[in-house]
Amino acid sequence: MILGTAGHIDHGKTSLVRALTGVDTDRLPEEKKRGITIDLGFAPLKLDDVGIVGVVDVPGHEGFIKTMLAGATGIDLGLLVVSGDEGVMPQTREHLEILRLLNVPVPVVAVTKTDLVDADWANLVAEDVRALVAAQQASPPEVIGVSVVTGNGIEDLRAALAVAFREVAPSEGADLFRMPIDRVFSIRGTGTVVSGTIWSGSVRPGDNFRLLPSGKEARVRRVETHGAVVERAEAGNRCAIALSNIAVEDTQRGDVLVDSTDWKPTTRLAARLTVTEEFRAAVTKGRIVQVHLGTSAIPARVRFPLAGAALNSDYAILSLKAPLVARSGDRFVVRSLSPAATIGGGIVVDPHPARGSTKESIAEPPSSEKLLQLLRFAALRGIPREELPIRLGIPAAACDSLAKS
């Protein structure tokens, strides 16, 4: 299970992660010099009656939203961090909106730096942020005041996170393997290592995988979670995988490690788009936007079904400038290229839509109806059985049940 931080620059996300885990996630010299987080940071967090939870610490600066998005994908819960002396700021709102678009709940909010303000002011900030979060999700968050200087509230925060994670349903392990890569590095004697959050399936040493979109083949040499060598890692785990036959320059953030030839890169997505009210008039057919899916960030043109009209929430075809790996049900975020801003998000309906698809053909019926719909539009070409888990967005066993019904 994965916890992701969110919040404005200099609101104390990294210091809070260090107080909770004992790990300083700022590892780059420039981060140490400037005192801000630039890249993604990772740490293990032990919670009572839960076990080890992976923490992804993201940068808060508006110039690093792309990096924040790469870290936000695949997390189970968000921890919004708001400074008690500043309150809600622009990236507080943008990060919260990104979590909403990715369907990531925020059960707990930490109001930091409470040692710098009086109790009345801290309470005002807490009420403000509670209302902000409650407006976009079903349940209001628990708001906890903390100070990494005095230690006040740290254990209360840890306990609240444990309660929240006890409610998180375990991921489905019996599925095709997919891990969007967020970091690539080399270790002497080990070779190339890729890390990320496993989105589906499981991995063991000796498995034969592929890197997409390049298609390069790789063999798993070693698997680690939270710094410990393991024999198996599965969906929901933070994982570092040592690969044979792959050089560091052969892969990068944005690539995806998969276990099957059934996974195929795509340059077209059928999706249901939702654009925020502020940008509805600006997003019309032909508009180029930036699609953030997994750890990928790729420009795309909105092709369909718009005919010059403004978009609120509708089905569309996105023509991508470069290939990415997607599955039905994947959530993504859409940003404008200039000025750079988060303008909406979407859900993949079909990662490989047929040419000439209509709005009706890409709408989202239940899986059994969608199976019949896919078969109808594939006509005589048919759809190989092994493609169904990706086209329908459900595990192979569930696809078999549908096919027999």
Question: What pLDDT is recorded for position 6?
Answer: 92
Whether 374 has a pLDDT exceeding 80, the answer reads no
Question: What pLDDT is recorded for position 82?
Answer: 96
User: What mean pLDDT, rounded, does the chain reach?
Assistant: 84
In angstroms, rounded to a whole number, what is the distance separating the alpha carbons of residues 83 and 126? 10
**Domain harbouring 298, CATH code:** 2.40.30.10
% of the chain at pLDDT higher than 90: 48
Whether 308 has a pLDDT exceeding 60, the answer reads no
What is the rounded average pLDDT of the residues 276-284? 71
Question: What pLDDT is recorded for position 310?
Answer: 47
Mark whether 105 and 225 lie in a shared domain: no
Question: What pLDDT is recorded for position 385?
Answer: 64
Mark whether 142 and 185 lie in a shared domain: no
Whether 305 has a pLDDT exceeding 70, the answer reads no
Residue 398 in any domain: the answer is no
Mark whether 139 and 281 lie in a shared domain: no
Q: Which residue has the tokens 């890692």?
A: 233
Mark whether 23 and 157 lie in a shared domain: yes
What is the pTM (predicted TM-score) of this model?
Answer: 0.85
What is the rounded average pLDDT of the residues 225-241? 91
Mark whether 238 and 299 lie in a shared domain: no
Residue 342 in any domain: the answer is yes
User: pLDDT band at residue 380, thresholds of 50, 70 and 90?
Assistant: very low
Mark whether 286 and 231 lie in a shared domain: no
Question: What pLDDT is recorded for position 172?
Answer: 65
Question: What pLDDT is recorded for position 306?
Answer: 44
For the chain, the domain total comes to 3
Mark whether 9 and 57 lie in a shared domain: yes
Whether 140 has a pLDDT exceeding 60, the answer reads yes
Domain boundary among 165, 195, 218: 165
% of the chain at pLDDT higher than 70: 79
Question: What pLDDT is recorded for position 304?
Answer: 62
In angstroms, rounded to a whole number, what is the distance separating the alpha carbons of residues 29 and 17? 19
What is the rounded average pLDDT of the residues 12-35? 75
User: pLDDT band at residue 300, thresholds of 50, 70 and 90?
Assistant: very high
With helix as H, strand as E and coil as C, how does the chain read? Answer: CEEEEECCCCCCHHHHHHHHHCCCCCCCHHHHHHCCCCCCEEEEEEECCCEEEEEEECCCCHHHHHHHHHHHCCCCEEEEEEECCCCCCHHHHHHHHHHHHCCCCCCEEEEECHHHCCHHHHHHHHHHHHHHHHCCCCCCCEEEECCCCCCCCHHHHHHHHHHHHCCCCCCCCCCCCEEEEEEEEEECCCEEEEEEECCECEECCCCEEEEECCCEEEEEEEEEECCEEECCEECCCEEEEEEECCCHHHCCECEEEECCCCCCCEEEEEEEEEECHHHHHHCCCCCEEEEEECCEEEEEEEEECCCCCCCCEEEEEEEEEEEECCCCCCEEEEEECCCCEEEEEEEEEECCCCCCCCHHHHCCCCHHHHHHHHHHHHHHHCCCHHHHHHHHCCCHHHHHHHHHC
Domain region containing 189: 178-258
Question: What pLDDT is recorded for position 307?
Answer: 45
pLDDT digits (tens, 9 = 90+) for 33-58: 555 565 678 888 999 988 899 898 88
User: pLDDT band at residue 106, thresholds of 50, 70 and 90?
Assistant: very high
Mark whether 22 and 160 lie in a shared domain: yes
More confident residue, 63 or 85: 85
Mark whether 62 and 205 lie in a shared domain: no
- How many angstroms from the chain centroid is the CA of residue 169? 17
User: pLDDT band at residue 146, thresholds of 50, 70 and 90?
Assistant: very high
Residue 376 in any domain: the answer is no
What is the rounded average pLDDT of the residues 310-324? 80
Question: What pLDDT is recorded for position 190?
Answer: 82
Residue 388 in any domain: the answer is no
Mean pLDDT: which of 21-35, 343-357, 361-375 is highest?
A: 343-357
pLDDT digits (tens, 9 = 90+) for 85-99: 999 999 899 989 989
Mark whether 94 and 129 lie in a shared domain: yes
What is the rounded average pLDDT of the residues 305-334? 79
Question: What pLDDT is recorded for position 80?
Answer: 96
Residue 146 in any domain: the answer is yes
Question: What pLDDT is recorded for position 379?
Answer: 45
What is the rounded average pLDDT of the residues 205-216? 95
Residue 372 makes CB contacts below 8 A (sequence gap 6+) with none
